[in-house]
Structure 1
């Protein structure tokens, strides 16, 4: 059954319904005209008797079906005939019956679970992520994507964002970061990947010393005795200290085997070991991690991270072309391929969606049923009558046409039988 598209908020009959109503009424008028002509010409030739019988029976069939179709939505000719205007008179019962039908046939956990078992949600998502434009159903995917984007924008961002940010923070809190950092540092040292870090530290120390020479001179001057300050030895000592530090940093920068670099590497190895195996070090790192997570700056970073992810999801959902390039697109395509090839992951995700759907039905099924029933009850009789008539009226007009033609054929058969007898 086709539901006709109308302008939102308008209850005017669709053009197709108006056309079919004119066709059915015009056919009834044609049968009446044929009946009058055939009745006038019947004495001239017996064949006009068949035409009269056809037209007469067609009028009866057409009028009967017109009465039946009209009686669904209003009183025929405005007469308060019993058992007419069925829809407006039984509006509340129709709403309750429709709600009960939905509850008993669609919103039972067992029914939803059985139907969800036949739906490969993870596979469909995987195919779409791997190739958003490929295969059939491009318009359906685009419409679904835009719907998903609208839903992401329409959802309560405070609540949704709070859930997402709470999940991120919870995962960070539960992450045992010290062993991971220790293993990464161990692997970096084993492959000399720490050397650029040491070089960077040495260069940074050199620039820092050059920019803060005045502080070194001030510290030596404040700690020197009055005799050293009077003789100027404090300035000489400060210059020696600065020159010595500068020379040491220069040697460390050019000599990979410098003893201090060796001490630094030894310290890094010890740090990597402690991060992996020392409980006290792991506890200190964990406390530092928690302090960083609770820091307002970190919370603002998580807020920005969630908002960037949400905006990226909205852009990709509404315009799959926008997400076809870049690292994010590559990651999504890789995820899509994984969802298609990894049977265990696909089963786990499908099971999650199935349980989520069943849980929603179990928790909110009665609420959905009440919503349907109460919504229909809130409509006035004229509104529901117009909407139902606009939705199914065209098919009902076909019933009038069929009733007219079938009635005429029955009239022909009866007329032939009458002549034969």
Structure 2
């Protein structure tokens, strides 16, 4: 058994009241006419006049209300009845045009945006802690679904294929050439070289490093010079001096930008940049290396593991009460909201952008929206549309029937009183 909706229940209730008023008017008319026949007198005449007018008014308004949705009493020959079912498509076109002209026109959108003040409302929303908590809870609720969506094999394969295709179209040689060109422009690379030289010199100064290198070098030196009867301690001393000389060389290179080795390094970098930009054979070799790397099964496995680990961490973080992602988002949005709320010029620019952009974005879709409304109304059957509209406005229409019955009776009483007064005056 279908459950009756609240709208249908209210409509049925108001119909009963309207019908009861008509029935009461009819009973009063019958009572007045019967009493007038047995005991003539003006009170019964007044009752007949009032009840008759009330009955006529109620029936007339009943006819008008019913005629909107169906043929009263099923009489199809009565013209201008069942107006909504007969004019369904025309009503749909009129409704669509009305909405687009009066609600979605450029002038209406601009007027609403000017009153709405999008910048101020957006700033208030971004800094509102309650809204931040709402978005956090929403992220927590959506995180399992988001992770499951991203973990679909088809989507994972699509992402890997897309990454493979994008990387496969990447020209490494020109890219590296531009990168090295930016790095060496105006001597920017010198700070990096100095940092590397400093780290290397500091590493050679550490006792553990010096001992390790001394052992390695001493063993090699002793293996060569022992045939010359060179003692092992002398070989170890030579190794330590070589290590210290290397460290000093690194310090000299770091302190002298014009050091021969530094100039040679700069020359090699310039030559490499030129080759990366202009040498087709080097570009082809690098592209072959790129393709071999992309075709390597271990790279696909690495990307797969990286994707899975990223999804796992994403899901764990979003589901946590102290989510780092949510915290960063909250901090970023709050900072943006504070800046927007404090900067009047930025607010004006944002509002002006909305006024200029939103009508332009909506404009091309306005005909499609109008056509959608028309098609949606046309897909409704006449009975379905009538039923939906009657449920929506039928309760209010029943009050027209109330008023017709009550106002009709009141007018009938006034006309009877006027006629009675004129009769007394002239007779």
**Fold-level similarity (TM above 0.5):** yes
Counterpart of 2:86 in structure 1 is 89
Counterpart of 1:39 in structure 2 is 33
Q: Specify whether residues 417 and 341 from structure 1 end up closer, same or farther in structure 2 by C-alpha distance, changes over 3 A only.
A: same
Counterpart of 2:56 in structure 1 is 60
CA shift at 1:214, angstroms?
A: 9.2
Q: Kindly indicate whether the alpha-carbon contact (under 8 Å) linking 1:95 and 1:372 is maintained by their aligned counterparts in 2.
A: yes
CA shift at 1:247, angstroms?
A: 8.8
Q: Specify whether residues 340 and 47 from structure 1 end up closer, same or farther in structure 2 by C-alpha distance, changes over 3 A only.
A: same
CA shift at 1:54, angstroms?
A: 1.6
CA shift at 1:372, angstroms?
A: 0.9
CA shift at 1:339, angstroms?
A: 1.5
For the aligned residue pairs, the C-alpha RMSD in angstroms reads: 5.7
Instruction: Give the 3-state SS of the residue equivalent to 1:57 in structure 2.
Output: helix
| 1:74 maps to 2:70 | yes
Q: Kindly indicate whether the alpha-carbon contact (under 8 Å) linking 2:69 and 2:390 is maintained by their aligned counterparts in 1.
A: yes
Q: How does 1:378-393 map to 2 (within 5 A)?
A: 378-393=379-394
Q: Which moved more, 1:35-44 or 1:232-241?
A: 232-241
Instruction: Give the 3-state SS of the residue equivalent to 1:83 in structure 2.
Output: coil
Q: Specify whether residues 122 and 392 from structure 1 end up closer, same or farther in structure 2 by C-alpha distance, changes over 3 A only.
A: same
Q: Kindly indicate whether the alpha-carbon contact (under 8 Å) linking 1:224 and 1:234 is maintained by their aligned counterparts in 2.
A: no
Q: Specify whether residues 261 and 63 from structure 1 end up closer, same or farther in structure 2 by C-alpha distance, changes over 3 A only.
A: farther
Counterpart of 2:171 in structure 1 is none
Structure 2's unaligned 5+ residue stretches are 167-174, 258-269, 278-285, 423-427
Instruction: Give the 3-state SS of the residue equivalent to 1:82 in structure 2.
Output: coil
Structure 1's unaligned 5+ residue stretches are 1-5, 167-172, 187-193, 253-257, 268-279
Q: Specify whether residues 327 and 12 from structure 1 end up closer, same or farther in structure 2 by C-alpha distance, changes over 3 A only.
A: closer
| 1:20 maps to 2:14 | yes
Q: Specify whether residues 220 and 15 from structure 1 end up closer, same or farther in structure 2 by C-alpha distance, changes over 3 A only.
A: farther
Counterpart of 1:99 in structure 2 is 96
Give the TM-score taking structure 1 as reference length.
0.61
Give the TM-score taking structure 2 as reference length.
0.60
CA–CA separation in structure 2 for the residues paired with 1:31 and 1:240: 128
CA–CA separation in structure 2 for the residues paired with 1:232 and 1:48: 152
CA–CA separation in structure 1 for the residues paired with 2:35 and 2:325: 77
Counterpart of 2:411 in structure 1 is 410
CA–CA separation in structure 2 for the residues paired with 1:398 and 1:340: 49
Work out which of the two has the higher radius of gyration on C-alpha atoms and give 1 or 2: 2
CA–CA separation in structure 1 for the residues paired with 2:129 and 2:222: 78
CA displacement 1:11-36 (0-9 Å, x = unmatched): 88532222211111121112212222
CA–CA separation in structure 2 for the residues paired with 1:220 and 1:120: 79
Instruction: Give the 3-state SS of the residue equivalent to 1:385 in structure 2.
Output: helix
Q: Specify whether residues 230 and 352 from structure 1 end up closer, same or farther in structure 2 by C-alpha distance, changes over 3 A only.
A: farther
CA shift at 1:349, angstroms?
A: 1.3
